[in-house]
Amino acid sequence: MNYKSTSVKKSFAAKILRCFLPLTIALTVLLSSVSAYAVSISARGAFVLDSETGEALFVHNPDTPIPPASMTKILSLYVIYSHLADGSLSKDTQIPVGRALANYSRDPGYSNVYLDAGATYSVDELLGAICVVSANAAVMAIGDYLCGSEANFVDEMNNWLSAWGVNGYFVDCTGVSSRNKISPRGMATVANRLISDYPDVLNYTSLTFLNFRGYTYYPTNKMLPGGAYEYEGADGLKTGTTSAAGCCFTGTAVRNGKRLVSVVMGESSTNMRYVDTIKMMDYSWDLLSSRAANGQTYFDSTPKDYIVATDLRCFINDWEIPTFIHYGTAETNYQDCAVVMLRDLKDYGFDVSYDLATDTVTIVNNVDKDLTAGPNYGEQSQYDDEEKLELSDWEPANILLKNGPDDPGVYAERTFDINGSGAISIDELWHMGTVVWNEKYNITVVVTRY
């Protein structure tokens, strides 16, 4: 169907946002083929995957880069285990601790176990401290021993991200820095790598207490047996909390031989990270059970990679914009996403430019730019609903999103080339404002000026 003629007042999107934003903070409705119905969570981003197949079972802002706080240590643990695997380290290796690190271990502002200057600790001891207590000084001590400095250790961490194709970057091995960034999808990928390649780590992450040099510590993970949010099958993995990251949690549980890995990032409270994890895992178990009951072992694997016009209505800065749907492929775990054309964004308060030398389209949120789209612009699509648009074989240009001229920006991940015209997932616009979905009314609202 063509876009119908409707009367769209200038304040329409703002009204929609005011109506839905309070609900969105507590109720996120997923526009994704992996979600058959709405699941209410409050996390800034979330992801659940099937550990064996890698399939996404639940997604919410899956590709939004967010500080992971102490979940950073999941990748630190992978590096440590890689050295255990190649023989350059053993669990009996004694790790020395200097005065600076000993003093740091006593800083009440950080999660730690006490380490003594001049003492040595086995890798086995320190692994327990990292996994149970999230001990910063413990992971730093091993990193210094292995690589000579934390910076060199972090280089190894980032090398693994590059090898896996994960879009993330770390500057420390503890998660203290807000400059550490990774998406929920990326965090789930790293966690699943650790569990799959080195399942021995679960012997530590499943501990319900730790005796360390005369002190008893209890796990930060409250979904383990005896915890406030005890959950059947839970045996890991890692919490994280900073002011920049909010409350985060990467969890894992196994039932009947099937393992799930879940990630929530940017939660408002410690409790909510467990509440939302349980909701997502319950939903995912139910999804897998319903498939098994119907004889379905995996999500629809029919090859598909195309974009169609849609009657989904999207409003950017009060005005409707032509919107399309990309039906995902195996590379995106068959996730669908709403798409807008780059050429249209210039009429919605964005500066759009192209640099031939770097093959980069830069999109800048310009709050002073006049909106030129007009109230009926979104109705001008020449496409019929569900009409397929051809995807080019060309590699899409780099797309840099900047929230103002001084913002260094972030590169969009879900980009497309449609017969030479660039397109982008609406979810990518999170960097420049607020993106609110409402499935009931088939509407999404993007606001980048207030």
Tell me the binding residues for substrate. Answer: 238
CA-nearest of 132, 138, 131 to 153 is 138
226 C-beta neighbours (distance < 10 Å), count: 10
Give the containing element (helix H, strand E) for 218: none
96 bridge partner residues: 120
Q: Which of 35, 42, 70, 111 is catalytic?
A: 70
Concerning whether 134 is annotated as a catalytic residue, the answer is yes
79 φ, ψ to 5°? -60, -45
> Can you say which residues are annotated as belonging to the binding site?
238
395 by Cβ neighbours in 10 Å (0-12 / 13-18 / 19+) ranks as exposed
- Residue at token pair 């502002």: 109
108: which DSSP letter?
Answer: T
Options 73, 181, 222, 402, the catalytic residue: 73
Residue 19 makes CB contacts below 8 A (sequence gap 6+) with none
Taking each continuous run of H as one helix and of E as one strand, the counts in the chain are 10, 25
- Where would I find the beta strands (DSSP E) of 34-109? 45-50, 56-60, 94-96
Cα distance from N-terminal residue to C-terminal residue, the chain:
33
Distances (CA, A) of 183 to 61, 65, 73, 187: 8, 4, 15, 6
In sequence order, the β-bridge partners of residue 424 are 340, 415
| Measured distance CA(202)–CA(213) in Å, rounded | 22
Residue 302 structure tokens:
């029919």
Catalytic entry in 134, 183, 262, 284: 134
Q: Are 245 and 263 in contact (CB under 8 A)?
A: no
Catalytic, 73? Answer yes
Which residue numbers are catalytic? 70, 73, 134
